[in-house]
Structure 1
Amino acid sequence: MTEKRWIDKASYQKLQEELAFLTETKRPEIARKIDEARQDGDLKENGAYHAARDEQSMNETRILQLEELLRNSEVGETPADDGIVEPGMVVTVKMAGREMKFLLGLREASDDLDIDVYSPEAPLGQAILGSKQGDTVSYKAPNGKTFDVEILKASPYEG
């Protein structure tokens, strides 16, 4: 079973709106394009037909992605302001001599956010999850290097 992933209300609503557009507006529009292209005759050499079918495939794939995201997302109430790193927290860390600030949450919903988003399932997210302000944890980067990560601050996301 897939774990629920934290997402803020605005991002969840944005994903729902995209899903509604793709299923209620885009899907019928593509079906109309396919139908019109079919009426032009030979499908083997019908570029409009093949283009519409490709568009349909991409649309249906995105619909499935959105349905999966929404099904496995937990619309989060803002976590407690207790300094413990968990999904829904804005985390400031010091790693390799530089500070980084990011939201620990659902990356797929981060398009309109003014902050970087790191997934709790990503290596860095897993390394810092459950730690608290003042802790230093070890993080093994995808390139194999290991870094110390100091948690400078963890506060609730105020989207």
Structure 2
Amino acid sequence: MPEKVFGLTYQGIKDFQQELEERKTVMAAEIAERLKEARALGDVTENSEYDDAKSAQAENEMRILEIESILKKATVIGDEDISQEEVTLGGQVKIRDMETGEDREYVVVSSQEEDIFNSRISSDSPVGSAILGKKKGNTVTVKAPTGMLKYKIMEIKKPS
């Protein structure tokens, strides 16, 4: 089965590269120091500090492998790939909740770089998949845990 290829924004690639560098240098060095200190305490068979450091090392190495895999499989979503006519991956969209009148702005990204706290929603999420391909003025209905939500697309632009 071929590997899944997905798009990442320039910002997403930059963020992953930065995290990868941090994990390979700073975090790896900190964990190595923790292991060294734990070994200095003596017998490692019942040493919780050593076990914790080994666990942190394994988690760090797994995340490094994951990030490397993400970067290997990713295609770059460039400015030329982002439409201002319809919602596309990498595009910024302002939507209005038709019930509350509240506006929200999101950048639609792949699930690998989703970060709801920074207004980056996945194209696989209920809202992301509903608005993908839609145009300004279109209304979409989204099934959510709280019920059906209705949004109107107010603006589509390239992220700043």
TM-score (norm 2): 0.78
Distance 1:101 1:39 in 2: 52
Per the alignment, do residues 92 and 31 of structure 1 end up closer, same or farther by CA in structure 2, a change over 3 Å counting? Answer: same
Identity of aligned residues (%): 27
Residue matched to 2:121? 118
Shift in Å, 1:73: 3.2
Distance 2:20 2:87 in 1: 31
Distance 2:18 2:82 in 1: 29
Distance 2:18 2:131 in 1: 32
Shift in Å, 1:119: 0.8
Residue matched to 2:108? 104
| Amino acid of the structure 2 residue aligned with 1:26 | M
Distance 1:120 1:132 in 2: 15
Shift in Å, 1:154: 0.9
Deviations 1:13-60 (A, max 9, x none): 232122123124433553454355335432222233112112212212
Per the alignment, do residues 52 and 80 of structure 1 end up closer, same or farther by CA in structure 2, a change over 3 Å counting? Answer: closer
Per the alignment, do residues 128 and 15 of structure 1 end up closer, same or farther by CA in structure 2, a change over 3 Å counting? Answer: same
Distance 1:13 1:64 in 2: 17
Shift in Å, 1:108: 5.7
Equivalent residues in 2 for 1:1-159 (5 A)? 1-7=3-9, 9-38=10-39, 40-78=41-79, 79-95=81-97, 96-97=99-100, 98-106=102-110, 109=113, 115-141=118-144, 143=145, 145-158=147-160
Partner SS for 2:89: coil
Corresponding residue pairs, total = 154
Partner SS for 1:140: strand
> Once superposed, what is the RMSD of the aligned Cα atoms?
2.6
| Larger helix percent | 2
TM-score (norm 1): 0.79
Question: Is this contact kept in 1: 2:82–2:89, CA < 8 A?
Answer: no
Distance 1:3 1:66 in 2: 14
Question: Is this contact kept in 1: 2:85–2:136, CA < 8 A?
Answer: yes
Task: Note the residue ranges of structure 1 that are not aligned, 5 or more in a row.
Answer: none
Distance 1:17 1:61 in 2: 16
Task: Note the residue ranges of structure 2 that are not aligned, 5 or more in a row.
Answer: none
| Amino acid of the structure 2 residue aligned with 1:101 | E
Question: Is this contact kept in 2: 1:103–1:115, CA < 8 A?
Answer: no
Question: Is this contact kept in 2: 1:106–1:117, CA < 8 A?
Answer: no
Partner SS for 1:151: strand
